[in-house]
Chains A and B, each alone.
Chain A
Amino acid sequence: EPEVTQTPSHQVTQMGQEVILRCVPISNHLYFYWYRQILGQKVEFLVSFYNNEISEKSEIFDDQFSVERPDGSNFTLKIRSTKLEDSAMYFCASSLSDGKNIQYFGAGTRLSVL
């Protein structure tokens, strides 16, 4: 069964460093998403991406964040200058454009900012 894959599974970084989280969505999906889940809190939407541009973003997705689809398979989330409060589990998801918006999630990348 096709799945969304994310790498790395755990990323440790120093405050102020840049990190790039990587995702390979399901190959025939057209919509891509990033979510985060701070420990013990709700899964929060960050950004959605369609047709090579951001289609929607939340208040959390400020200028420190950016997304890119550098080639036909990868979808990345970059955090320019990490803060302690960026420590969270980051989930990538993808979906078809079939109107049901059934999103398939990756296993997540745990980001620890020290």
Chain B
Amino acid sequence: GEDVEQSLFLSVREGDSSVINCTYTDSSSTYLYWYKQEPGAGLQLLTYIFSNMDMKQDQRLTVLLNKKDKHLSLRIADTQTGDSAIYFCAESMRGGSYIPTFGRGTSLIVHP
């Protein structure tokens, strides 16, 4: 079955770039997503990328997709303390179930 793996923690200094990595197993994955969960809140969709794309940029966020290695990354430029949250990688598959499979989430800690 599908599996999505992420490292559990990432600690960065304010102003630095953060890179959160994710690997997935299903080569049929069509959509890959990044969700953000702040304390006490639900999952907020940050961005998504379609599998025929290699990169997507949205303000401070850059998503890179390496389909060959089944590797997805989220780069946050100029990381701020407000970026501290749990970041979930997820994938879903067109033509099958659209239900996303989530990773365990990466806790991003931004310190001054």
Interface residues of A (CB under 8 A from B): 4, 6, 33, 41-45, 48, 56, 91, 93, 99-108
Contacts and interface: CB of A to CB of B under 8 A. Distances in A.
Nearest to B40: A107
Nearest to A3: B42
Interface in B18-67: 31, 35, 40-45, 48
Contacts of A4: 42
B43 A101 contact: no
A107 B42 contact: yes
Interface stretch (B9-17, B71-79, B91-99): B91-99
A100 B48 contact: yes
A101 B42 contact: no
A33 B98 CA distance: 11
Contacts of A48: 99
A107 to B, nearest CB: 4
A48 B35 CA distance: 19
A43 B88 contact: yes
A19 B106 CA distance: 31
Contacts of A103: 45, 100
Contacts of B44: 105
B42 A108 contact: yes
B99 A56 contact: yes
A102 B42 contact: no
